Amino acid sequence: MGYKDLSNDCEDTGEWDLGATASEIPSTSPEDALQKARRDRLANKLWRQYLSYTGRRAK
């Protein structure tokens, strides 16, 4: 009984295409929603601080 060489059947292209990034996967957990809201508020706060530091204005 012989074995077929499968080494060429699965080429590794070096690319991972999972179809969605982590941010596109819907989350139903209330903790995740809270963390997202906190992260968004912090990002907005830091962005406003950066703009005021550089003398620019938020649009």
Q: Do 33 and 27 touch, CB atoms closer than 8 A?
A: yes
pLDDT value, residue 33? 86
pLDDT value, residue 10? 52
The DSSP result for 32-49, as a single string, is HHHHHHHHHHHHHHHHHH
pLDDT value, residue 55? 87
Q: Over the stretch 1-59, which tens digit does the pLDDT of each residue have?
A: 566 555 555 555 555 555 656 566 665 677 788 999 999 999 999 999 999 999 887 65
